[in-house]
């Protein structure tokens, strides 16, 4: 079964073979384009005038099509919410990592069914906003049983699952005892469900030596590493991620020149999470500085009940453009191809022959409208692995 999606006013491909100069160069735009989808893959891309015949035809009516968003950082397996904490922050209370323990208590008390239905609701919410690939972390269980079941639940929703036992040290244990648990029995239980290992390297969570211990233990068991770092203040986390050659280091809000140099030299992706700064009233990360230095930048939602309860990649794109010095094209690339790099994936984030047919149709003539019309539900159609899901 093949489908011809034609009448595309602007097709964002991110295909390196189609990129060029100018502000939109990096996103490889094809104008007046068509795409043929066969099964779950892209079979043909080019000018609509040259398109081959297909079993079915969909007319985009001159609107824009882009690759599905790749949200490379989220925490969707949890119970309860922290709206009260958010309201208190907006009245002047500072964000602190300790709020995580509130969600841990609610998560431990929830049934598997409650956790699965909450996470599924958020994945569906993401899909409706154009996210076709999402990474999901554990980290609100913090016992062997609760981390294992969080990951098993995440695994039913995505192949990109991340073991974040090292989120905070739970009450009733010392950091030393807890790191031993995270790198021992908890890791034993996590490896069968997880692709990635992560740690929260921050004041109030884990220091750089503890984060290194956790990452190396996971990597020895075949997990790939990623890291939360430099969210609440400067520190050595970003350089640790670069030294270990991790795929991505996430937050990167407080950076020194040595961090930017290390990111550029290592190829580790800097994943920026502007929903966090929106929701914590901290300064936004300086994407311009990173891009100008030649660092690969991704954008992700960090969807979680504490620091960023948004599931919307269009919202993150708009924030990145308005608050972080990114052009619309840079932000769209970071939210698609950048996310794919951060997950070490080459089958998503780019529209080219043989890649996954994950596409978003906007109710707008170009990608610029994602930032130009913030807060407007512009996602009019979504195809995931070639299947229309919206």
> Residues interacting with Fe ion, by CB under 5 A?
302
CB 234 within 8 A of CB 240: no
Calculate the CA 149 to chain-centre distance: 22
* Minimum separation from the CB atom of position 102 to ligand NIG (A): 8
**In which residue are the tokens 């996103």 written?**
27
> Which residues form the interface with ligand NIG (CB under 6 A)?
75, 99-100, 103, 200, 228, 231, 276, 302, 304-307
Q: Which is nearer to ligand NIG, 196 or 200 (CB)?
A: 200
269 token code pair = 């992706």
* Minimum separation from the CB atom of position 65 to Fe ion (A): 30
Q: Which is nearer to ligand NIG, 15 or 147 (CB)?
A: 147
* Minimum separation from the CB atom of position 313 to ligand NIG (A): 16
CB 102 within 8 A of CB 81: no
Contact residues for 239 (Cβ-Cβ < 8 A; gap 6+): 258, 259, 262
Q: Judge whether 307 is annotated as a binding position.
A: yes
Q: Which is nearer to ligand NIG, 301 or 336 (CB)?
A: 301
C-alpha separations of 143 from 84, 165, 186, 211, 386 in Å = 26, 8, 7, 18, 39
Q: Judge whether 304 is annotated as a binding position.
A: yes
How many helices (H) and strands (E) the chain has is answered by: 15, 16
What percent helix, strand, coil does the chain show, rounded to 5? 40, 25, 40
* Residues shown for the chain: 390
Q: Which is nearer to Fe ion, 147 or 302 (CB)?
A: 302
C-alpha separations of 58 from 7, 22, 30, 385, 388 in Å = 8, 31, 18, 16, 11
User: What is the C-alpha to C-alpha distance for residues 79 and 304, in angstroms, rounded to an integer?
Assistant: 10
C-alpha separations of 380 from 37, 39, 365 in Å = 18, 21, 12
Q: Which is nearer to ligand NIG, 103 or 133 (CB)?
A: 103
Q: Judge whether 82 is annotated as a binding position.
A: yes
* Minimum separation from the CB atom of position 345 to ligand NIG (A): 21
DSSP-assigned states of every residue in 20-65: -SSTTGGG-EEEEEEEEEETTEEEEEEEGGGPPP-SEEEE-TT-EE
Q: Which is nearer to ligand NIG, 121 or 203 (CB)?
A: 203
Q: Judge whether 80 is annotated as a binding position.
A: no
* Minimum separation from the CB atom of position 176 to ligand NIG (A): 21
Q: Which is nearer to Fe ion, 3 or 162 (CB)?
A: 162
* Minimum separation from the CB atom of position 124 to ligand NIG (A): 21
User: Residue 129: which of Fe ion, ligand NIG, none does it interact with, CB under 5 to 8 A by kind?
Assistant: none
User: Residue 28: which of Fe ion, ligand NIG, none does it interact with, CB under 5 to 8 A by kind?
Assistant: none
Using Cβ positions, the residue closest to ligand NIG within the complex turns out to be 306
Q: Which is nearer to ligand NIG, 67 or 99 (CB)?
A: 99
* Minimum separation from the CB atom of position 297 to Fe ion (A): 17
* Minimum separation from the CB atom of position 277 to ligand NIG (A): 10
User: What is the C-alpha to C-alpha distance for residues 279 and 258, in angstroms, rounded to an integer?
Assistant: 28
User: What is the C-alpha to C-alpha distance for residues 21 and 7, in angstroms, rounded to an integer?
Assistant: 25
Q: Judge whether 302 is annotated as a binding position.
A: yes
- Say how many Å lie between the first and final Cα of the chain, rounded: 19
User: Residue 135: which of ligand NIG, Fe ion, none does it interact with, CB under 5 to 8 A by kind?
Assistant: none
Give me the phi and psi of 338, to 5 degrees please.
Answer: -65, -45
Q: Judge whether 251 is annotated as a binding position.
A: no
User: Residue 103: which of Fe ion, ligand NIG, none does it interact with, CB under 5 to 8 A by kind?
Assistant: ligand NIG
User: Residue 162: which of Fe ion, ligand NIG, none does it interact with, CB under 5 to 8 A by kind?
Assistant: none
Residues annotated within a binding site: 73, 75, 82, 140, 167, 228, 231, 302, 304, 306-307
Residues annotated within a binding site for Zn(2+): 73, 75, 228, 302
Residues annotated within a binding site for Fe(3+): 73, 75, 228, 302
């Amino acid at each position: 079964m093949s489908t011809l999606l034609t009448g595309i006013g602007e097709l964002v491909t991110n295909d390196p073979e189609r990129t060029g100069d100018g502000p939109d160069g990096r996103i490889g735009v094809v104008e007046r384009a068509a795409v043929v989808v066969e099964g779950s893959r892209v079979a043909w891309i080019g000018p609509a005038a040259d398109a081959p015949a297909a079993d079915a035809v969909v007319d985009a009516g001159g609107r824009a099509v882009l690759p599905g968003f790749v949200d490379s950082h989220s925490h969707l397996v949890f119970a309860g919410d922290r709206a009260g904490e958010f309201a208190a922050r907006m009245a002047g209370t500072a964000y602190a990592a300790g709020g995580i323990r509130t969600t841990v208590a609610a998560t431990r008390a929830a049934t598997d069914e409650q956790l699965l239905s909450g996470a599924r609701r958020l994945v569906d919410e993401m899909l409706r906003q154009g996210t076709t690939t999402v990474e999901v972390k554990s980290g609100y269980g913090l016992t062997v049983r609760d981390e294992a079941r969080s990951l098993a639940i995440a695994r039913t929703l995505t192949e990109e699952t991340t073991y974040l036992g090292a989120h905070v040290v739970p009450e009733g244990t010392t950091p030393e005892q807890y790191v031993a648990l995270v790198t021992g029995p908890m890791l034993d239980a996590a490896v069968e469900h997880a692709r990635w290992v992560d740690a929260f390297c921050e004041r109030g969570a884990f220091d750089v030596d503890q984060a290194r211990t956790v990452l190396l233990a996971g990597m020895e068991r075949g997990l790939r590493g990623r890291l939360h770092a430099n969210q609440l203040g400067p520190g050595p986390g970003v350089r640790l991620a670069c030294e270990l050659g991790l795929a991505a280091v996430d937050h990167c809000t407080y950076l020194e020149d040595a961090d930017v140099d290390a990111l550029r030299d290592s190829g580790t992706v800097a994943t920026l999470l502007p929903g966090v700064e929106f929701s914590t009233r901290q300064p936004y990360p300086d994407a311009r500085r990173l891009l100008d230095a030649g660092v690969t930048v991704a954008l992700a939602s960090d969807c979680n009940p504490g620091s960023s309860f948004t599931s919307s990649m269009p919202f993150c794109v708009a924030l990145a453009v308005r608050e972080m010095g990114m052009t619309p094209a840079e932000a769209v690339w970071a939210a698609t191809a950048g996310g794919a790099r951060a997950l070490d994936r080459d089958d998503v984030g780019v529209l080219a022959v043989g890649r996954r047919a994950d596409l978003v149709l906007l109710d707008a003539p170009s990608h610029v409208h994602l930032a130009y019309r913030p807060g407007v539900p512009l996602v009019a159609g979504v195809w995931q692995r070639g299947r229309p899901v919206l």
